[in-house]
Amino acid sequence: MFIGKTALVTGSTSGIGLGIARTLAARGANVVLNGFGDGREIERLRHELSEMHDVQVRHDGADMSQPEQIERMMGTAIAEFGAVDLLVNNAGIQHVAPVDEFPVDKWYAILAINLSASFHTVRLAVPAMKRKGWGRIVNVASAHALVASKYKSAYVAAKHGVAGFTKAVALELAEAGITVNAVCPGYVLTPLVEQQIPDTARARGITEQEVIRDVLLAAQPTRQFVTVEQVAALTAFLCSDDAASITGAVLPIEGGWTAQ
């Protein structure tokens, strides 16, 4: 489906981003992985994806909080592959704390990685997409792009920002063959969620089991975690030609959470 195309997925050494990278590679795209982690494990992953799907796979360790590193990563990818045809802005971090105790450095880091990084990758990817008259941008937002939760002020602000950014850029690029959409997962059991369970327990004064039952899954009428594979399949569909008329959409995939 994506043979001859190149995907760049930020934050793809773990969780949802890795699932998206696997799915796009399985459908024939060359892939630029990005994210942190153990060098040997990342190399093993790079090799596995490349061999399994007969595509080129690179890893770039650019820090998405650093605009000059993003610029270098995008420049390298476009020089090597001609364009980033499928851009998936997925890298994200979370911090859970009451607003009056929220660490100032965490506020700026969350805005930089979860929101501003997408501005940089998009502004740098779009010229080559325009030259080809084709491109797909998928921003991994969150149910928190649509509704809020307590103690997540920076994350909710950043993800609402992603929704607005998605719509604005979609309008700008609508006649250029480039679609721009956001997917809004509910809770997916990845390291990002696993790490916030103890913090949420502390902030709310409840046990970790109660956080899973009464905070996380309580928000989702299905009472099930969303899976990485489901988010990856939706993202791959948005990247397909069948999705050419879907742009500027902010699509929930959250077990009914925001229908309430």
Contact residues for ligand NAD, defined by CB under 6 A: 11-17, 34-37, 63-65, 90-93, 113-114, 140, 142, 185, 187-188, 190-193
Beta strand 6-9 with 250-253: parallel, antiparallel or unpaired?
A: unpaired
> Residue 131 or 209: which CB sits closer to ligand NAD?
209
Q: How far apart are the first and last CA of the chain?
A: 36
Catalytic pick among 108, 151, 155, 187: 155
Residue 79 Cβ vs ligand NAD, minimum distance, rounded to whole Å: 20
155 is catalytic: yes
From residue 135, how far is each of 45, 59, 246 by CA, in Å?
Answer: 26, 21, 13
Return the number of the residue (36 or 108) whose C-beta is nearest ligand NAD: 36
Q: Are 155 and 144 in contact (CB under 8 A)?
A: yes
- To ligand NAD, the closest distance from the beta carbon of 238 in angstroms equals 15
Residue with Cβ nearer ligand NAD (34 or 153): 34
Residue 82 or residue 224: which is nearer to ligand NAD going by CB? 224
Tell me the closest approach of the beta carbon of residue 240 to ligand NAD, in angstroms: 21
- Shortest distance, CB of residue 216 to ligand NAD, whole angstroms? 8
Catalytic residues: 155
